[in-house]
Amino acid sequence: MGVGGTYELPRRGVTIEGVHLTGTIPWMIRWDKDPSKGVHINAVWGKGRDRVKVAYQFHRESDGQDIEGWNEFKKGVKSLNKATKIKTYKQRTDEENNTHKVVFKDGGNQEDAVKAIVEKWTSLIGTPSPC
């Protein structure tokens, strides 16, 4: 489950993980859960060799389970859906679900959603991963 698009960076660009990005860049944030990493968020900014790829992992319990990470994952998805005004699948009509595109609640749009995601992601990557 994830979202993506393009974003026009500020004139001076931004530096993420030591890579300086400028102009309009593609981006993607994908929430994932697998046996080796547990619950994690993958993010990609830019394209080609200079793209930035980041994975933020939540910590696992001592028994190898990832209950807390899964709960944080669900909380994060709800928070992003609210901030971006993106309708959940349950909130969409059958017609909207059949388009396989992002559907916004009243007043929502892609530009505002991208800004909300950048803001949420900035606060997330500012918090050290316990892994």
Q: Is the pLDDT score of 62 beyond 70?
A: no
- Report the pLDDT value the prediction gives residue 81, as an integer from 0 to 100: 75
Domain that residue 95 falls in: 2-125
Q: How far apart are CA 70 and CA 87, in angstroms?
A: 21
- Confidence band, pLDDT 50/70/90 cuts, at residue 129: very low
Residue 130 lies in a domain: no
* Cβ–Cβ < 8 Å for 68, 74: no
Sort 84 into a burial class: Cβ within 10 Å, 0-12 / 13-18 / 19+. Answer: buried
Residue 82 lies in a domain: yes
* Overall number of domains in the chain: 1
Mean pLDDT estimate for the chain:
76
Residue 131 lies in a domain: no
Average pLDDT of span 89-117: 82
- Given the DSSP bridges, would you call strands 2-8 and 19-21 parallel, antiparallel or unpaired? unpaired
Q: How far apart are CA 99 and CA 114, in angstroms?
A: 20
Q: How far apart are CA 110 and CA 80, in angstroms?
A: 13
Residue 59 lies in a domain: yes
- Report the pLDDT value the prediction gives residue 69, as an integer from 0 to 100: 65
Q: How far apart are CA 67 and CA 25, in angstroms?
A: 34
- Confidence band, pLDDT 50/70/90 cuts, at residue 122: low
